[in-house]
Structure 1
């Protein structure tokens, strides 16, 4: 499968040569981007914090652009912000904390810092290394923080949970939102979607051909009755929907609506391998060799689906920090995560995989998870993100574990009111939330 296409942030494909990985670069000054990249880091206006301006620092550190903001009365603590997937653009950019968190953090006395990473694509390694390097740069510019928190969205969630494993002792707590917490399982899901659709439509097309979107997908959609409306038009299409529902987190409120909302985007993620790096072609780690598909009627998909081994088995199996690294679940700090219940771009099942990883190592007590009733990707209100942040800080301070949602109990997740507990009722009329019934 080709590099996943950003649905939220448009991927701009550039003709420039792909830059080499860090460590394989010729002599490039630390304050310059790697070959093939440029930086767009316009001045960030200071925020007003309790009537006074913040202090903003910007620049380039170890080939990555950065922004740092320190409030007038700094409490001595730091929040690192990890951005999501940028596509294959060769322009490095920086995001401040989203969902109103930038102002919230500053008003609470926290400084924050964010890196562009030294490379784009699906390069978690770049995110982990650049974010850690920026902690060092912050210390040099503003002083050593007493505590360092880490928050990230989407691919930045993958950066976040790998970072707390990669650098134990550096980060004190983590807030991944809409994160790729299941590491390789995300790319397995993208592969599963195509292979099951092809199998049920009796249109084998793997490896993905160059004309897949124009020649194969329309035929698949016609045979599965996916040509219009929220409900598939035949029994095969309904089985496909149900299989995708299981793979993305199981039966849950809004699952049918999520399938209809995301199906075209998921078909659009497949394409021929372009021969680039692993960061450009992360689907090389994907496999369905041992996947059990449910339901298996009217077609026994498990007996008929094409089975695919990872194109890059070394990247799949290694524990090293690669562009698409594994997440072991061996953590030592509190983690509070948020995830949209109907997100099928980075599906809710990511939370279930991460919960299982931590459980294998006896670390479940360090994880609190919250489901938000929306179908979009990273669709959170300021109230939802702010409450999660405040609860994480309180947990880290006091040791009192906050409340969360059970993501593993199938009966609990399938309940009609699931996700209501932490969903902001005032945001109901916005975005995709009206696809859900209002919470009581």
Structure 2
């Protein structure tokens, strides 16, 4: 049974100025959305840069809406922004760079461009191709940039990491934030969460029935004591397995589990449609997964093993809606991730680190941990410092500092690059304040 696995909802502003799609029977021109889609891209007011307005260009290119913004004194360099998951909506929207980066880029002389992508759902292929196509439109409308950077959040991090491998001659450096850098491993984690909980509660329910969230999940939570002040022995084992699968024992892990558990159970709701983009969990498997701890129940002997429903999509190197990331960056990559994130879990960084190291390209990757439990919860200072350090690295060749994401167990892990002035906003109070 096909299920929804939802990534971050990083939506744009209120939807207005809807452009109707061309008739389904027609093959629409590139300045119209694909059949079934509409576009909402309200006018973007120019930003002020040193007392002068920026130049804003908006339109539709190859079925995707776009925004381009150029400062009055352009330095000849471009930043492509890749947005996150838009869900099953059939309205295409554009998102300017977040975390204060839009103004920061313009103040530093950078132009930026962002695409809606030509499709929604979990369609990384659409993100990669639409973003790359927009670089050509920028060259035509503004001029060919001397350098092109790419940055993205959540699913946009997946778009970013695959883009630098798909089009290695286009991009000069990359900044994925809270990104799906472990590609298929994200959907493996969602699968793990359901089948392990079912196994420990002795409530087999995979594939999940239509009433799974309303009827089965409450029984699982009751049997594991997940809603009690402290889980029972089985619940503690489940929590430990979920923590290990999401990045290992690290500061705030138990609090992060409590914060995310209900949301993760809800991901088993049925999804509309039958395409890979609509049901990315078709690539998920746990056939060879080893779960720890294995007491009081040896889950490795009792858990239901699930093969990928779409093994072709799982194993191909082609650019699909849910593509693999080889871990072969040929440009500097600086990533940010929240250590308590269990939606796009911190383990994504660990998978990417191992892939990059296996390809002997570790010198091109710097990773930074931010100490909170939210998804894409960064302060302007955290994102801004990462951007500035990435640019300096690309320009000078001097690799900036980062965290060892494979060793997250120290009590102060995540403190080095966490903005102390952002405490105690958001989910940061789930962690002790950094010294």
Shift in alpha-carbon separation, 1:175–1:34, aligned structure 2, 3 A: same
SS of the aligned residue for 2:369 comes to strand
Does residue 2 (structure 1) correspond to residue 28 (structure 2)? The answer is no
In 1, Cα distance between the equivalents of 2:300 and 2:118?
Answer: 42
Partner of 2:427: 432
Shift in alpha-carbon separation, 1:49–1:275, aligned structure 2, 3 A: closer
Gaps of 5+ in 1: 12-18
Partner of 1:62: 62
CA drift at 1:429: 1.4
Gaps of 5+ in 2: 13-20
Alignment of 1:223-234 (within 5 A): 223-229=223-229, 231-232=230-231, 234=232
Alignment of 1:244-283 (within 5 A): 244-272=242-270, 274-283=272-281
- Residue correspondences, number: 425
1:368-426 superposed Cα distances (whole Å, 9 cap, x missing partner) = 000000100000000000000000000000000000000113xxx11110000000000
Q: Are the counterparts in 2 of residues 168 and 332 from structure 1 also a CA contact under 8 Å?
A: yes
In 2, Cα distance between the equivalents of 1:438 and 1:429?
Answer: 8
Return the match for 2:238 from 237, 240, 263: 240
Q: Are the counterparts in 2 of residues 3 and 122 from structure 1 also a CA contact under 8 Å?
A: no
Alignment of 1:2-151 (within 5 A): 2-6=3-7, 8-9=9-10, 27-151=27-151
CA drift at 1:4: 2.2
In 1, Cα distance between the equivalents of 2:57 and 2:272?
Answer: 38
Which has the higher mean CA deviation after the structures are superposed, 397-406 or 269-278? 269-278
In 2, Cα distance between the equivalents of 1:371 and 1:209?
Answer: 37
In 2, Cα distance between the equivalents of 1:295 and 1:418?
Answer: 23
Partner of 1:313: 311
Shift in alpha-carbon separation, 1:7–1:61, aligned structure 2, 3 A: closer
Shift in alpha-carbon separation, 1:407–1:6, aligned structure 2, 3 A: closer
Partner of 2:162: 162
Partner of 1:200: 200
Return the match for 1:390 from 388, 391, 405: 388
Partner of 2:342: 344
- Normalising by structure 2, we get a TM-score of 0.96
In 1, Cα distance between the equivalents of 2:10 and 2:106?
Answer: 26
Q: Are the counterparts in 1 of residues 9 and 84 from structure 2 also a CA contact under 8 Å?
A: no
Shift in alpha-carbon separation, 1:277–1:81, aligned structure 2, 3 A: same
Q: Are the counterparts in 2 of residues 25 and 34 from structure 1 also a CA contact under 8 Å?
A: no
In 1, Cα distance between the equivalents of 2:164 and 2:3?
Answer: 28
Shift in alpha-carbon separation, 1:363–1:26, aligned structure 2, 3 A: farther
RMSD of equivalent CA atoms: 1.6
Q: Are the counterparts in 2 of residues 93 and 116 from structure 1 also a CA contact under 8 Å?
A: yes
